[in-house]
Structure 1
Amino acid sequence: MGKKNIPVGFFEDFLKDVKNMAERVRAKRVVFVFNGDILDLLYTALWNYKIENGKYLYNPKGVKPWSENQGLILEKSKEILEGVLNNQKVKGFLEAFRAFSLDSPLPVEIRYIPRNHDRLIDAFPELRSRVSKAFNLEENKGIFFEKYFYDEELGLYISHGNEYDVYNFEHDSNGALVALFGDAVIIELLNRLPIEVLKETGSLNCFEKLAEIEEVRPRKTAFNFSRKVLKAEGVKLKVLSAITRQLGEEFFSNEFVEDWLNTHTIPSPRITLRRLFIVPIIKVLRLIGRNSEFDKTLVKMFNTFSLDTLEQGNSAHKRHLGSRSLKRRAKNLKYAVFGHTHDYEESVVQRNQQNYNYINLGAWLFQFYRTKRSDFEKRRHITYALFFEKGEETKSNYLIERKTIREEIFWRRKK
């Protein structure tokens, strides 16, 4: 919830399904596990721009998640969080959830796992309190903020999964997430590119499509997608070349980015930067910066992140099943549920002669899928898992519900 909000009806249907299933299996309690990136505090123009009379005024010296002044970060985060909570769709979901909780004859709990997009909520008690109030629950009684969820009896381990992504996971001595490199990628590149394009061209459609570039599937078709966006809107490449050249120069001269690159060891090419962030933006930059001075910056970016040898993000999760670190958290591991990659998957993984059920529920976001006709179809997948405790009247230990909503097709070729 935040930048890419979901119609309230989807949440209402989800809550109805949970209510009906709880009654059917004679459940004793209902526990919702919100597995990270729920209230997104990163995807917003407010980290970089003042918005006056519908215009975006760039403020390069504004507070950022990596600023030293924690008080200023808190104030900016409060402003952004209030904007998210007051969005009509988010308010609709919260009202539906509060009604569900009040009407339920069963105890209702929330286990919230704040990770890279909503880590700032966990960083400040004031923000946790505000979120708890929004759900009409009391922290550490009805709503719990946790790093992961584990149920020993079920053998169920739930984690967002960013801990296996070096660019989106770094913590202090207390285990709390600190400013992440991925924060800078989102705020200084992914947020700014569509806004600067809008300011220069006035093309709202181009702005909206470029803002969704990270959700193109398969990811390698992001180049083709961005080319179609620009062509359809008649945007000149020379204009965009100047914009991207400026963004690239500012990104690599950013003090936080420079310090991070100088103090971190880049992983081997097989464990490359995930592909939710840098790859899509590179596809756009590569297209519009071709044969220009900006090529030098592109080469630097490609070399830095070994982007020519990409792999699926889910693979990093599956490699760690059966690892010692995971066994310390989940001794009786049977089901490992992750997120972070936005890519749905359900599979059985064998590690050390033991089978584990790997589940990635993807994301409730619009995504653009390239079709056999080389056009793009806009879809949304609504996927969730229901796990059942011992004694509940059900034939299986869990159930996965997956619904696909197809929206529209772009740039269909004429016969």
Structure 2
Amino acid sequence: MGERPLLIFVSDIHLTDRLHGNAVSKADQFNRFWERIQVARGKRPAELCIVGDLFDLVRSPSWFEGRHRPYHGASTNGVVKNVEKIVDETIKREADFFAAIRSKVENGELGVHYVVGNHDRLLLTAPVAQKMVARALLGKDSMPLHTEIAFPDHGVLAYHGNVGDPINASPDGDATIGDAIGSELILKFPRMLRKMVGEDHPGIEEVDDIDDVRPVYAVPAWVRQQSVMRKELLRPMSLVWSEVVDEFLSNEFVRDWLGKQRKTFSLDLGKKLRLLLELSRNKLMAHGSDERLTQLYRFFQQSFDGKMSTVAAAELSKRRGYHYVVNGHSHFPSMQPLGKIEGKPAVYFNTGTWRAVHQIGHDLGGRPSFLAYDAMTYVVFFPDGDKMGRDYEWWTGAMVAR
């Protein structure tokens, strides 16, 4: 092994071409982050690994300007062209953020590695967009895009983590039901609500926060909460959500996916998703189904929690010399011990997100409740000769605006 550099992992920054962003700009976030990195990196350039979803190519309103959707096939010409458009507009919108990173790269202070996630996997089949990304990050015409990357000097394996999420797992790079949820439910709902109540309805822009709700299957509960909090929108939101759900369930891609999930005498994933959506619809929303939604959410959450760390443990068991797995994807930071390998502790990390989050919780009455905040998480593996003798640090924080 050579002398190891400072190695940092971040993920799920979710830069978009049009949707609203954080209270703090991504450029400001990076500059504050770099102050800490600069102090600790030593003589060698630091290495930054983006563990997926730097771009959000799925949840762009531009998909509704044409007939193609992000789940229509990654190599379809119309999909590729729209990916190019989204990337171009996103880079222009976040020019200060990319300039901040690129300046560190060009000054020899930073190296960048890019692992794709489920929201930016469409880059893999869009060479023109890849070139745009390389120029924005590195000032070069190309850069490798990974689905998995290993750092043997640090004993770290990194991949996005959606492999442990059946809603978004895409082992062959194919479209997922998560892509359809993103475009046909989460993007479509605010658009259709605006058509009903008007673009100038007071506070209508707050409905765009639906894109910040995590985990994604908490969206129906968030819609329910918003309609209760804003009585004048109870009926419009109920009607629009019911219509959006109907259209989603009748979508050809969705129907095909639900059919493939079907298991006789079993509450399969398709049935769970359909039940969650049915519970959130018009009649049930009007009569209140908060506790049932909460119970079903917990059922989903319990089936998802632990899967990513379980997959991580299985991956480490196959590889000699590795003790750490870093994932993104869930937007919820985590550090979980996985026992010992060759006498050294093994650990699973989740790098959370750098975006706004509306996190679900439960109030005293059993109803879903949400907390909105800007999140920031990163994992740092320190270079040889670190003065404090550190191996790694895992940092996570939240900022709640007034």
Measured against the shorter chain, the TM-score band is: 0.7 to 0.9
Aligned partners of 1:15 and 1:97 also within 8 Å: no
Distance 2:62 2:334 in 1: 34
1:269–1:164 distance in 2 versus 1, CA, 3 Å: farther
Structure 1 partner of 2:11: none
Q: Which residue of 2 aligns with 1:344?
A: 333
1:314/1:125 CA distance change after superposition, 3 Å: farther
Q: Post-superposition shift, 1:365?
A: 2.0
For structure 2, the residue ranges without an aligned partner over 5 or more in a row are 1-14
> What is the Cα deviation at residue 67 of structure 1?
2.6
Residue 114 of structure 2 corresponds to which residue in structure 1? Answer: 112
Structure 1 unaligned spans of 5+: 51-58, 409-415
Contact 2:338 2:348 in 1 (8 A): yes
State yes or no: 1:66 paired with 2:71.
yes
Find the aligned partners of 2:266 and 2:333 in 1 and give their Cα distance: 24
Task: Provide the C-alpha distance between the structure 2 equivalents of 1:240 and 1:192, rounded to a whole number of angstroms.
Answer: 12
- Give how far 1:220 is off: 6.5
TM-score with structure 2 setting the length: 0.78
Q: Give me the CA root mean square deviation.
A: 3.7
Match of 1:319 in 2: 310
1:252 and 2:249 are equivalent in the alignment: yes
Answering whether residue 96 of structure 2 is matched by residue 98 of structure 1, we say: no
Quickly say closer, same or farther: Cα 1:30–1:115, change in 2 above 3 A: same
> Whose relative contact order is higher, 1 or 2, with alpha carbons under 8 Å and at least 6 apart?
2
Separation (CA, whole Å) in 2 of partners of 1:384 and 1:271: 35
In the other structure, the counterpart of 2:8 is none
Find the residue that maps to 1:112 and give its secondary structure: strand
Distance (whole Å) between structure 2 residues aligned to residue 322 and residue 204 of structure 1? 49
Matches within 5 A, 1:81-230: 81-87=87-93, 90-104=94-108, 106=109, 108-138=110-140, 143-172=143-172, 177-202=173-198, 203=201, 205-209=203-207, 211-212=209-210, 215=213, 223=221, 225-230=222-227
Matched residue, 1:43: 59
Paired residue for 2:232, among 235, 242, 251?
235
Q: CA deviation at 1:148?
A: 1.4
Q: Distance in 1 between matches of 2:251 and 2:216?
A: 31
* 2:316–2:323 Cα contact (<8 Å) kept: no
Secondary structure (helix, strand or coil) at the match of 2:329 reads: coil
Letter in 2 for 1:397: D
* Mapped pair 1:398 → 2:392: yes
CA gap of 1:382–1:86, structure 2 versus 1, over 3 A, is same
**Alignment match, 1:80:** 86
Kindly tell me: are residues 237 and 146 of structure 1, through their superposed partners in 2, closer, same or farther at Cα, counting changes over 3 Å?
same
CA distance in 2, matches of 1:251, 1:218: 15
Structure 2 counterpart of 1:411: none
Cα separation, partners in 2 of 1:366 and 1:270, compared to 1, 3 Å:
farther
Q: Residue deviations 1:38-76, cap 9 Å, x none?
A: 11111111112x4xxxxxxxx6xx111233571111111
* TM-score for both structures, normalised by structure 1: 0.76
Q: Does the CA-based 8 Å contact 2:50-2:115 persist in structure 1?
A: yes
CA contact (8 A) 2:167 2:178 kept: yes
Cα shift at 1:319? 1.5
Distance 1:67 1:252 in 2: 16
Q: 2:373 aligned with 1:379, yes or no?
A: yes
3-state SS of 2:377 partner? strand
Structure 1 range deviating more: 226-235 or 349-358? 349-358
Distance in structure 2 (CA, Å) of the matches to 1:267 and 1:400: 44
8 Å contact from structure 1 (residues 114, 145) kept in 2: yes
Aligned to 2:32: 13
Spell out, residue by residue over 1:126-182, the C-alpha distance to the aligned partner (whole angstroms, 9 max, x if none). 211111011234366xx321111211221111111001122212233xxxx121211
Match of 1:368 among 344, 358, 361: 358
Pair 231,353 (structure 1): closer, same or farther in 2 beyond 3 Å: same
| CA distance in 2: counterparts of 1:81 and 1:19, whole angstroms | 29
Deviation at 1:214, TM superposition (A): 5.2
Provide, for residues 373-408 of structure 1, a one-character-per-residue CA deviation record: whole Å limited to 9, x for no partner: 997543222111111244454411112233331213
Between the aligned partners of 1:170 and 1:121, the Cα distance in structure 2 is 14
Partners in 1 of 2:299 and 2:263 — Cα distance?
Answer: 14
SS at match of 2:203: helix
**In 2, are the aligned partners of 1:240 and 1:288 still within 8 Å (CA)?**
no
* Count of residues in correspondence between the two structures: 368
Distance of aligned partners of 1:159 and 1:222 in 2 relative to their CA distance in 1, 3 Å threshold: same
Question: Which residue number corresponds to residue 349 of structure 2?
Answer: 359
- Provide closer, same or farther for how the CA distance between residues 267 and 250 of structure 1 changes in structure 2, counting only shifts above 3 A: same
